[in-house]
Amino acid sequence: MPRTFLPSRDGFAFVNSWPRQPAVTLPTPFGDIGVGNAEGGLCGGMVFAALDFWHAGTATPAERPAKDDPLYTFLVDRLIDSWHLPAGVVQYYQWMNLPDGDSSFTALGRRVLIERGVSWRTIRVQWAQISKDLDSGVPVPLGVVTIDSKDPRDLALNHQVLAVGYNRIGNRVTLRVYDPNRGRRDDTFIAFDTGAPARATTFGHNLGIGGNRVRGFFRAAYRPRRVPSPLGP
């Protein structure tokens, strides 16, 4: 098993900043989505690729690749993988359209649940799975939902990071993450309270997402891939 993932050592030395034109157009159930501009970036590709290098026991390259570089092509390919088409895109869109807290009404003095919100799905379902992997020393790629929108074009405003560890005091969890938008920083986090998941939960963070809030997150489907030669073994 490789050593613990440390962003200052195992993340890419360059941040997620690329040409404004789309790096790739993703065909989704809601139409084509251009990803790779100043808003979308290659966050998912960088997260998956950094984890690939970690699994391979190989240091991430220090130089930012040009568009004709094999590493750049690999990042774009891994970006497409990170969206897990079509199921992953559907999950992002579903969560974009969910309320933060559970929806319910009271009838005859009893609470009737209509729909679970993003907070409950994050804390009760996703976090239970993510924490088990982290306890085993395995980093976990996360899809981070940042937007409340019915417009499929806003899918590119969501984000992806890599969970690498956590601290817990009572119900308070501080999740340590590698965020390609912040680079090789070991102090990047998402913090939340697990005590009342049915209510809208505040997810504190210092992610590089332009001041947008974190509504919730889920485990992204990941399988390791061989890193490109001559960069890897």
Q: Which range (31-45, 55-69, 143-157, 204-218) has the least confidence? A: 31-45
Specify whether the CB–CB gap between 45 and 75 falls below 8 A. Answer: yes
Residue 229 reports pLDDT greater than 80: no
Q: How many CB atoms lie within 10 A of CB 194?
A: 18
* pLDDT tens profile 99-119: 999 885 455 566 645 689 999
CA end-to-end distance (rounded Å), the chain: 17
> What residues are paired with 174 via a beta bridge?
167, 191
Q: Is 215 helix (H, G, I), strand (E, B) or coil?
A: coil
CB 124 within 8 A of CB 102: no
Question: What does the pLDDT average to over 73-100?
Answer: 93
Q: Where are the domains of the chain?
A: 7-219
Q: Which residues, 6 or more positions from 4, have their beta carbon under 8 angstroms from its beta carbon? A: 137, 164, 165
Question: Could you tell me the two tokens for 147?
Answer: 């937007």
pLDDT at 221: 96
Q: Would you say residue 24 has pLDDT above 90?
A: no
Confidence band of 38 (pLDDT split at 50, 70, 90): very low
Look at residue 166 and tell me whether its pLDDT is greater than 90.
yes
Single-letter amino acid, residue 99: P
Query: Pairing between strand 103-107 and 110-115?
Result: antiparallel
156 neighbors 83 (Cβ within 8 angstroms): no
What pLDDT band is residue 129 in, cutting at 50, 70 and 90? very high
d(CA 28, CA 171): 37
Question: Taking the complete model, does pTM exceed 0.85, yes or no?
Answer: yes
